[in-house]
Structure 1
Amino acid sequence: MLKAVLGLMLALGLAGAAQAASKLETIELASKLVPSPVKVAVLLPDGYQPSQKLPLILMLHGGGGDEGFLTQMRPIVEAAWAANEVAPAVVVTPNVQRSLYMDYKDGSQRWETFLVTEMIPELRRRYGLSAERSKTVVTGISMGGLGSLRLGFDHPQVFGGLAALEAGIEPALSFEDVKMRNRFQRNDAFFKTIFGDPVDRDLWKRSNPANMVIANRQAILASKLAIYIEVGDLDMFHLDEGVEFLHRVMWDHGVPHEYRLVRGADHLGRTMQPRMRDALKFLDREVLRPSPPDDSFADRKAAIDRLRRSMGVPDDEPRPPFPSTSPAR
């Protein structure tokens, strides 16, 4: 039911989007790590040639979705290509079922391991893709936003950037603090399937993006991982609370990122086309085709720096934290 509703909302939101001469195909990958074969949708840009060493964009589907998500997103990607908002790339959506992009507690399904150690290397080999992290990015919606955060935070040596749209995350640092209003679409039985019965609190903590930021902070900073998070302020699943919480954790721990609270936006619908294009533009300008640093104001910045120091504010004074990392509501 959820899949059908989201599909209809996306269809309404993408009406009239541009078309281009790209090619969409579906392949199947065998694996012992996850239920096999795994269907993977692959979008090739106009004029694709293996010798081009194109970038890879993972575009992750939400809960209840599958590889057909890329068919829904195709007009957005094509419009972005046509406007030169994002570099030509091979865009890929694997069907990971409703796995949260995780390795299960019981080891029966190891989706994160599959994606990083099997799928990405195979896609690079099969399509002649660049193996550079500066040419490898991940984005996704809802559960796919959660997957983007988990993959990026866990593997900053693989991904140059991530863009998580309305990520399906909870505003908490411990499972006990998660309120039903923030997980009503995921019942107890669902959590037990992935995190064990009873739910392994330590596994949940290690897999929670806010905790991952704290635990992996040094690696994230050293890699200069480009991070983009956004959510609508009218999200029907209250995901704005989880994304705002993550933003505050990153702020308090000095992890650079771009955050957008989209006014008047719900979960998917008509706002999704411009929102996904904004996410793609971020990945393009920060990772795939970065612009040179803006030094047009260097003289003024130097003057402000001198003023700050003269007033007794040292260069390395930390920014003040938010009053609390608890949700504002």
Structure 2
Amino acid sequence: MAAMSGVPALAQVAEPGAGKAAGTARTITLQSAHVPGDVAVRLYTPPGYGQGQALPLMLFLHGGNGSEKDLLAFTPAIDAAIHAGMIPPLVIATPSARRSLYMDFRDGSERWETFIMSELLPHLRASLSVSAERRHSFIGGISMGGLGSLRLAFKHPDSFAAVAALEPAIEPVLSWADVGPNVKFWRPDRVVQPIFGSPVDLDYWAANNPATIASNDPGRLVNLPIYLDVGDQDMLYLHQGVEFLHRILFDAGVGHEYRLVRGADHVGPSLVPRVLDALGFIGRQIRPPDWIDDNVRKVRASFDEVKRAMGMAVAEPDPRRIRGL
């Protein structure tokens, strides 16, 4: 499984600046019959929280070997980005999910998906000044958390307005039977079998594999803005899995944003700016930019005339891809 032990050693990031208020980070603890033990959840609330309308909520899922504390590595940069107007104020929650893959285990012994969807989200919406509407509910994560965020969003597209997955720990296959050494060296059977069964239940694995979900039913994702990010130097070869998913989405006509980050690895100082880029994508879903303005429409119309003259079909821009609807 992908490890995120390098997060605390990230390079120094921008501070909010002299005289600028910082957001607040605190930890709450939840108990659930669905998962063993207490679940720590780190909460980030931005400057000015609680002084106005309910804010958007984002679940930000940590990677393998991580915990709720991983969120702390990014909060100074998030503060600075909010002050600079790069992203709108939002509340972020990171639950500590151990090495669960954010899954309901095949044998029912741990049910992390059920916990997140039926207990964590309702609790956050009831106890925090956040919107309960889908259009203001987001999910994302890094590595194992990127995988978890894609799975949860793809299985519950009516619950989230967008998903932003950074270096998601996904395999470049549609069936576990087809995985090779580039996957098994970091996700061996001893990690997979407690979750998917021993031997691995291939149908259960496929039903929870983001690429297989997208391949089998791409129509369910048409109204879900998707952001994919991975470094081209990823030490776990995760760029192979992310490229595989990108191609499935592209061929199916599912709008998404895909970034293969030149020179970036799985851990290290590239993660802070990449997280901010992902949050910028989320921000564009909250406050959609008007990128198709009158000048663009004029230029487009001139090309449309040429297309028609050649007998080509002409389609209007898809507003779901432009404005994150």
TM-score with structure 1 length normalisation? 0.90
Is 1:69–2:66 an aligned residue pair?
no
User: Structure 2 CA distance, aligned partners of 1:14 and 1:139?
Assistant: 21
Q: Is this contact kept in 2: 1:173–1:211, CA < 8 A?
A: yes
Q: Structure 1's 50 and 210: CA in aligned 2 closer, same or farther, altered over 3 A?
A: farther
Q: Is this contact kept in 1: 2:15–2:79, CA < 8 A?
A: yes
1:292 is aligned to 290
Partner SS state of residue 106, structure 2: coil
* Cα RMSD after superposing both structures: 1.8
1:92 is aligned to 93
Equivalent in 8, 17, 36 of residue 14 of structure 2: 17
Deviations 1:229-252 (A, max 9, x none): 010000000001000111011111
Letter in 2 for 1:292: D
Q: Is this contact kept in 2: 1:50–1:128, CA < 8 A?
A: no
Q: Is this contact kept in 1: 2:167–2:230, CA < 8 A?
A: yes
1:256 is aligned to 255
Partner SS state of residue 270, structure 2: helix
Letter in 2 for 1:137: F
TM-score with structure 2 length normalisation? 0.91
Q: Is this contact kept in 2: 1:153–1:216, CA < 8 A?
A: no
2:323 is aligned to none
Q: Is this contact kept in 2: 1:50–1:127, CA < 8 A?
A: no
2:241 is aligned to 242
1:161 is aligned to 162
1:325 is aligned to none
How far is the alpha carbon of 1:59 from its aligned partner? 0.9
Partner SS state of residue 74, structure 2: helix
2:320 is aligned to none
Unaligned runs of at least 5 residues, structure 1: 317-329
How far is the alpha carbon of 1:293 from its aligned partner? 4.9
Q: Is this contact kept in 1: 2:13–2:77, CA < 8 A?
A: no
User: Structure 1 CA distance, aligned partners of 2:38 and 2:51?
Assistant: 24
User: Structure 1 CA distance, aligned partners of 2:67 and 2:13?
Assistant: 23
Partner SS state of residue 26, structure 2: strand
1:327 is aligned to none
Unaligned runs of at least 5 residues, structure 2: 316-325
Aligned pairs for 1:7-86 within 5 A: 7=5, 9-19=6-16, 20-49=21-50, 52-86=53-87
Partner SS state of residue 308, structure 2: helix
Partner SS state of residue 141, structure 2: strand
Partner SS state of residue 269, structure 2: helix
1:111 is aligned to 112
Q: Structure 1's 240 and 253: CA in aligned 2 closer, same or farther, altered over 3 A?
A: same
Q: Is this contact kept in 2: 1:14–1:75, CA < 8 A?
A: no
How far is the alpha carbon of 1:307 from its aligned partner? 1.7
Q: Is this contact kept in 1: 2:218–2:249, CA < 8 A?
A: no
User: Between Structure 1 and Structure 2, how many residues are aligned?
Assistant: 310
Deviations 1:213-234 (A, max 9, x none): 123422211xx21111010000
Deviations 1:237-273 (A, max 9, x none): 0001000111011111111001011001111211111
Letter in 2 for 1:284: G
Q: Is this contact kept in 2: 1:14–1:76, CA < 8 A?
A: no
How far is the alpha carbon of 1:52 from its aligned partner? 2.3
How far is the alpha carbon of 1:50 from its aligned partner? 7.2
Percent sequence identity over aligned pairs: 46
User: Structure 2 CA distance, aligned partners of 1:228 and 1:180?
Assistant: 27
Q: Is this contact kept in 2: 1:106–1:196, CA < 8 A?
A: yes
Q: Is this contact kept in 1: 2:55–2:130, CA < 8 A?
A: yes
